[in-house]
Amino acid sequence: MFERFSREARGAVTGAQQVARDTATRTIDTRHILVALAEGASPAATALRTAGVDIHQFTATLRSELMSAAIDPEALAGLGIDLAAVRERTDATFGSGALDRVGHSPRHIPFTRDAKKALELALREAIRLRQKSIDGRHLLLGILDIECPGRDALTARDVDLHELRRALEDLNATGSQSA
């Protein structure tokens, strides 16, 4: 399947891996793919804007949520550890944001089941739209096709999923064909 991925789609997959590293998460789910698509200069990002998404705010919020999930302040507090105090002392000793840089590894980060399913559905979307390759629009359509954290992030921000789907399909109809 990956041989059918366009340069843009491959960039989104590697971008999702970088988002996971940046947020110190151990797996890649559909939110990581969504951030990578939104941050790229791609038709998928254009469709998100068309659907009313403030890309900068959306990706900053998602990155923050992903990072918060990686370090659970409440669990640490239960052990008597004040994460805010630890951050403050770490920043003072090692520089601003030092704690956030911990754990960044070049190792392979696995995809969750929902992310794998979204990638599979991207292939189905490309076939349905009669396209030879899978691009970022298809990846985003794949995310819209299943219940997953990426889709939930969009609905939590009142993104009209039908309008987003229409914007993605309109990009296809206006001649932005994949090679």
Residue 6 lies in a domain: yes
Check pLDDT > 90 for residue 95: no
Residue 179 lies in a domain: no
Q: Tens digit of pLDDT for each residue in 114-135?
A: 999 999 999 999 999 999 999 9
| DSSP, residue by residue, 40-73 | SSSHHHHHHHHTT--HHHHHHHHHHHHHHHHS-H
Residue 101 lies in a domain: yes
Mean pLDDT (the chain) is: 86
Q: Which of 12-16, 33-37, 89-93, 107-111 has the lowest mean pLDDT?
A: 89-93
What pLDDT shows up at residue 91? Answer: 73
Specify whether the CB–CB gap between 36 and 140 falls below 8 A. Answer: no
What average pLDDT does the segment 91-115 reach? 74
What average pLDDT does the segment 26-52 reach? 94
What is the CA 174 to chain-centroid distance, rounded?
Answer: 26
Q: Tens digit of pLDDT for each residue in 43-84?
A: 999 999 999 999 999 999 999 889 877 666 666 677 777 767
Residues of the domain holding 87: 2-173
**What span, in angstroms and rounded, lies between the C-alpha atoms of 37 and 140?**
8
Instruction: State both tokens at 100.
Output: 């956030």
What pLDDT shows up at residue 115? Answer: 97
Residue 54 lies in a domain: yes
CATH of the domain at 48: 1.10.1780.10
**What span, in angstroms and rounded, lies between the C-alpha atoms of 178 and 61?**
31
Scanning the structure block, which residue is given the tokens 């890309």? 55
Residue 178 lies in a domain: no
What pLDDT shows up at residue 179? Answer: 40
What is the CA 125 to chain-centroid distance, rounded?
Answer: 18
Residue 44 lies in a domain: yes
Check pLDDT > 60 for residue 175: no
pTM value > 0.85: no
Check pLDDT > 60 for residue 172: yes
What's the number of domains the chain is made of? 1
Residue 7 lies in a domain: yes
Specify whether the CB–CB gap between 67 and 23 falls below 8 A. Answer: yes
Residue 157 lies in a domain: yes
Helix intervals (H) in the chain = 7-22, 30-39, 43-50, 55-70, 73-78, 83-94, 98-101, 113-128, 136-144, 149-156, 161-173
